[in-house]
Amino acid sequence: MTRHPRRALRSPTPPSASSLSRAQPQEGGTTTERGLPTRKATKELSRDLAGALAPGDLVILAGPLGAGKTFFVRAALRALGLASNERVTSPTFSLVHEIDVGARRILHADLYRVSDPDEVRVLDLEAQREGGAILLVEWGAPYEAELGGDALLVELSLSGGARRVKLSASGPKGRALFDRIHRPA
C-alpha cells in the first residue's frame, strides 16, 4: 500500500459549534513576547521553530481569525522542506492533515469547530504524538490536556495593524522547545 504524503483524518462524529476560548499561558511556564512587523519576521520565527522540532512535540497556535496561524504553520512546513507546490491549508473541515516531510510525520490540526474534549480524544492525536508525530494544532488551547499537555503555545495577535507573538511553555518538553527557539526581542 502506498502512503500518501498528505491525507486528511476524519472524526467519526461530526464536530459541533465552535469553541471560542482564548489561550492562556500555563502557570509556572515560560513566556516571552515580541513583535512580528513583517511576513519575513513571521517566517523567520517559523523557521526557528521548524529547526527545533523533535518527535512528539506539541505546538498550539492561538489567536483570532486572520492572525496568521495557518501562515505560521505553512512557513514552518516549508522550512522543514515541504515543496512549494504542496498546498498547506487549514484543516478546518477535515480537522487533521497528515504531512510527511522527510522522516518527520506532522499532524496539522484545526480544532476551531470542536466543542467537546471527547471529540478531540476520538481523533487520537495524543497517541499519534506518543508514536512520534509532531502536532501543530490551531485553536487547541482549550484541549491541551487531551493533546497530552507539555506544549509550546504560539499566541498570535493583531492590534492596530501590528502583529505580535507571545510564546509560552508548559511542561519539560514545551520548555525545551521554547529554549531551543527563544531569542530575546
The pLDDT tens digits of the residues spanning 54-70 come to 999 999 999 999 899 99
**What pLDDT was estimated at residue 15?**
30
Q: Quick one: what percent of the chain has pLDDT higher than 70?
A: 83
Higher pLDDT, 9 or 30: 30
The H or E element spanning position 141 is none
The H or E element spanning position 169 is strand 162-169
Instruction: Report the pLDDT averaged over residues 30-47.
Output: 92
The CB density around residue 46, as the number of other CB atoms within 10 Å, is 24
Q: What confidence category does residue 162 fall into, taking pLDDT thresholds of 50, 70 and 90?
A: confident
| Alpha carbon distances (Å) from 14 to 21, 93, 109, 119, 126 | 20, 10, 15, 9, 19
Phi, psi dihedral angles at 103 (to 5 degrees): -90, 0
pTM for this predicted structure: 0.81
The H or E element spanning position 155 is strand 152-159
Q: Where are the alpha helices (DSSP H) in 131-167?
A: none
Domains of the chain, first to last: 39-178 (3.40.50.300)
